[in-house]
Structure formats: structure tokens, C-alpha cells
Amino acid sequence: MYDFVVVGVGPPGARFARRAAESGYDVLALEKGTIGEPLACSGHVSTDIWAFTGAGAREQLFQNAVYGARFHVGGPHSDAYPFYKREAASNVIDRVGLDRHLAELAREAGADVREERTVTEVTEHRDRVAVVASGPDGTEAYEAKMVAGCDGPRSRVRDQLELPQPDELLHGVLAFSSETDSQDFVDVHLTPPTFFAWRIPRGEAGVEYGLAAPPGVHVTKHFEELIDGYEVDVSHRCSGAIPIGPPDRVTTRRAFLIGDAAAQTKPFTGGGILYGMTSADHAAREIDPDRPSTLAAYEYAWRQDLEREMELGHWLRRAYSLPEPVQRIGLGALSGEIGVHMDRPTSLVSPTHLKAMLSRLRG
């Protein structure tokens, strides 16, 4: 019997598998396809990403440095309101390469990472969890003291164990052009209903275009308008669900959710790589597979760390739906140098940000 079966080997699953294996636990990690594919997530992340990677990762994965964002209330040719920092605010990385790198770190730590395993059943018993998966050689059955559901926004683990759903699932679309662009600003368009669209320069790797919106919105139509506005040809289109709003409970007696499965994402951007891996670290520190009561400590720890950030993130997102004249006034008044951390909305009241605001006012 394993200590943990981890379902899903994206960044949260790979991170938890690595940390649990480093603590001496017997870990099996199952990925339904090939690790990193298909791509369904942006590669634009905060510079904190390098605290979660191994030696040489930056040289292998880095594509571009971003110092700020230009916000547009209209299309590509509308007025832009720039927000920037003096140092790199974020990095653009090889997103598929990140997944593979993190999975390899888990393997090196001693986790048994297996690809092409689609989990079909998860059954919780008093003293164990039974997991059934289909693999290259047919049906496989495993038992573990606990199971970690790291299997994305439409989590099979969550559904099988009847855990509550995220508050909402946005529909996101990504595509890429071959144009070389090493600009150090991303472009954000507040045109899609209740969310936004983006353009991210990736250096020699091309440019990423994306858009997200709630169900019922014609996402494809809005995305085509974005691409037409930039007058570019795109390829490698992909789409996926973006969970927003974690449920009140992400644990059972012997199971727990991490990452998109738990909607541990930023409400104002939809990004979840750093929140998911941060929560994976909390899980690895707090959960003892021989003591189911420790799952409560995980619930407490990740919420203490991220819940306030998420609450403030919801307030930021509300600004996307303000009337256009109000958006223009607000963006015009606030644009300029900032000291905000892209993963931490609470940094809006940090000394760094307040110093930047005062400097701008004096100027």
C-alpha cells in the first residue's frame, strides 16, 4: 500500500509528489496522458517560479522578462494605460517544459511517476483509498493511505468523492503566433465580459494570445476579434476550463485536492501555478497519511495563506465590469510605476507599492 497516490502530474501534483517523497513517503503519481500535454495554460508567471524549480531550470525554461502591462479598454489600437516596475515583474516560460521539469524533480526525489494512466474510480474506505486506472496494459488497481486530487478543473477525484465544485468555471482560449517579440510589456484588454484578453511576448518563441470569459459568452467570437485587431495568423490553438472560487471544503477523510481541482487560483487572472504549488507545500508539511486528522491542518494552512489574496482578487476582478468611462478614469489616474506583486493583491498596501505611488505623485 502506498502512502499517497497523486492523481495528476501538473505543477501542483508534481510539487506535492516531490515534497512527500523527500519526506520519506511512498508516493505513486499518475498522469492521464503525456506530462505537459496538451497545453492549456499560459506560461506567464511571477519570478517566484524559480523558488520551486531545480538547478539549471531558468536557463532551460526562460523565454522573456516582463516589466509591466499595458491595459486597454478597447482593441489593440485603443489608448493604453501602462503599469510597470523598475525590476522584472514576471517571466514568460516554456510551460510544457515546466511540467516536465517538475515531474523529473519528483522522480529524482523517489516518487513513482507514471504516464498514460487515466483514473476511472476512486473509492474511500475507513482505512484506505482504492484507485482504479486504465493504462497501456489494461486496468490497474492501487491502494493508498491517502489520495491527492491534483487533476485539474474537472477533477475526477473531486467528482468521485462528491466534494463540492468551484464557484465557477471560465472558458479560456490560447493560441500562438510565430512573430518574434521581446518587448517587456504584456497587453491586457478589458473587452470580454467580466474577464479579459491578453497578448504576451515570448521572445524568439513567438507571441501568446489568450482570452477567458464565463459560460454563455461567445468566447470564440471575442477571440477572433482580438486576433483580427492585431492582424496576425495564429496556430496551436488550445482551450480549457479555469476554476474560480474554491469550495468550502477540499478534503474528505482520506483525500484532499490541490491546485485547479481545489480552485486555488487568482480570481483576477485565472492563474494557478504558484497558488497550486504553494498549497502543495502546505499539504506536504501538514498531512501525515497515518493521521487523517491532519487534513484539517492542511485546510487551515492554505486558506490562511491565500484566502485573503483571493478575496481581494475578487474585488479587483469586479473592476473589469465597470462602465467603460469609469475604467478609463481609474486606469488613467492609477497608471505608472507600481510596487505590486502579481500573485499577492495584498501588496497593494505594501511599503514598496506605497513608495512607488508617492514617488509618482511627487513627480
Q: Give the CATH number of domain 1-38+94-167+245-321.
A: 3.50.50.60
**Domain parsing of the chain, residue ranges:** 1-38+94-167+245-321, 44-93+168-242+322-363
Q: What is the mean pLDDT of residues 168-178?
A: 94
Bigger pLDDT: 89 vs 349 = 89
Q: Answer yes or no: are the C-beta atoms of 185 and 72 closer than 8 Å.
A: no
Residue among 249, 12, 31, 19 at smallest CA distance from 3: 19
pLDDT of amino acid 174: 93
What CATH number has the domain spanning 44-93+168-242+322-363? 3.30.9.10
Mean pLDDT across 102-115: 98
333: Cβ contacts below 8 Å, ≥ 6 apart: none
Report the pLDDT value the prediction gives residue 363, as an integer from 0 to 100.
53
Question: What pLDDT, in 10s, does the model give residues 231-264?
Answer: 999 988 888 899 999 999 999 999 999 999 999 9
Is the model's pLDDT at 357 over the cut of 60? Answer: no
Average pLDDT of the chain is 92
Please give the radius of gyration of the chain, using alpha carbons only, rounded to the nearest integer: 21
Rounded CA separation 113/198 (Å): 34
Query: What would the grid cell of residue 177 be?
Result: 503566433
> Could you tell me the sign of the dihedral formed by the alpha carbons of 133, 138, 144, 148, in that order?
negative
pLDDT digits (tens, 9 = 90+) for 48-99: 999 999 999 999 999 999 999 999 998 788 889 999 998 999 999 999 999 9
**Contact of 255 with 150, CB cutoff 8 Å:** no
pLDDT in tens, 281-329: 999 999 999 999 999 999 999 999 999 999 999 998 998 989 999 999 9
CA distances, 341 to each of 85, 249, 304, 346, 359 (Å): 10, 28, 18, 8, 18
354, pLDDT greater than 70? no
Joined grid coordinates for residue 270: 485565472
Would you state the pLDDT for residue 278?
A: 98
H-assigned helices in the chain = 11-22, 57-61, 95-109, 156-160, 219-230, 273-286, 295-318, 324-334, 351-362
Among 35-39, 221-225, 292-296, the range scoring the smallest mean pLDDT is 35-39
In this prediction, residue 356 carries a pLDDT of 56
Do the domains 1-38+94-167+245-321 and 44-93+168-242+322-363 sit in the same CATH topology, yes or no?
no
Show the 3-state SS of 95-143: HHHHHHHHHHHHHHHCCEEECCCEEEEEEECCCCEEEEEEECCEEEEEE
